[in-house]
Amino acid sequence: MNAAHQSTAARPSLLAGALVLLLAFKLVVLIVFGATIAPDSRDYIGYADQILRGSFRHVDLAADAVLPYPANEPLLTLFRPIGYPAVIAAAKIIAPAHWASAVVLFQFAVSLLATAMVYRLARCFGLGLWLGLGVAAAYATSLQFVVDQAIASDSLCATTFTIAACMLAELTLRRAPARPLLLLTAGVLIALSFLIRDVIAFVALGLLPLAAASVLGANGWRRRAAAFGLVFLPLIASYIGYVEWNRARAGAAVVTTIGQWSLLDPLVRASRYDPTFFSGDSPIAHVGRRVAKNFTLDESLEATWLLHREYGWDAVRISREAISAYLRAWAEHPWAMTRHALSYLSESQLHQAVRPTETVRDVLLWNTGDDREFAREGAVRAGNWWMIPAVIVHRLCETISTLVFAAFLLITPVRLVREGLSAHLAASAGLWVAYLACLGLHAAVNVHPRYLLPVLAGSIVVGAVNVVWLVARYRARAAGKSAHAGGSSTEGSGLTAGSR
Give residue limits of the domains in the chain: 11-256+346-475
**Statement: the pTM of the whole predicted model exceeds 0.85:** yes
Q: By the 8 A CB rule, do 168 and 120 touch?
A: no
Q: Kind and range of the H or E element at 459?
A: helix 453-499
User: What was the pLDDT predicted at 489?
Assistant: 56
Q: Rounded to a whole number, what is the distance in angstroms from the first to the last CA of the chain?
A: 59
| pLDDT value of residue 196 | 98
Paired residues of 150 in beta bridges? 36
| Residue whose C-alpha is closest to residue 443's, from 337, 348, 336 | 337
As a whole number of angstroms, the distance between CA 237 and CA 140 comes to: 32
Judge contact between 251 and 61, C-beta under 8 A.
yes
For the chain, list residues with pLDDT below 70: 1-11, 484, 486-500
Please, what sign has the CA dihedral across residues 22, 28, 31, 37? Answer: negative
How confident is the model at residue 488, as a pLDDT? 58
How far apart CA 229 and CA 249 sit, in angstroms, is: 30
- Residue 114's closest CA among 468, 462, 466, 458? 458
Tell me the residue type at 222.
Answer: R
User: Using an 8 Å Cβ cutoff, are 266 and 325 in contact?
Assistant: no
- Residue 80: CB partners within 8 Å, gap ≥ 6? 43, 44, 47, 256, 258
Please name every residue paired with 36 in a beta bridge, in sequence order, or none if there are none: 150
Sign of the torsion angle spanned by Cα atoms 236, 239, 245, 247: negative
- Distance of alpha carbon 36 from alpha carbon 362, whole angstroms: 11
Residue 265: CB atoms within 10 Å: 23
Torsional class of 73: left (φ above 0), alpha (ψ -120 to 50), beta (otherwise): beta
d(CA 453, CA 439): 10
**Would you put residue 126 in left (φ > 0), alpha (ψ -120 to 50) or beta?**
left
> DSSP states of 289-357 as a string?
HHH-SS--HHHHHHHHHHHHHTT---HHHHHHHHHHHHHHHHHH-HHHHHHHHHTT--GGGGGSSS-HH
From the number of C-beta atoms within 10 Å of its C-beta (0-12, 13-18, 19+), residue 223 rates as: middle
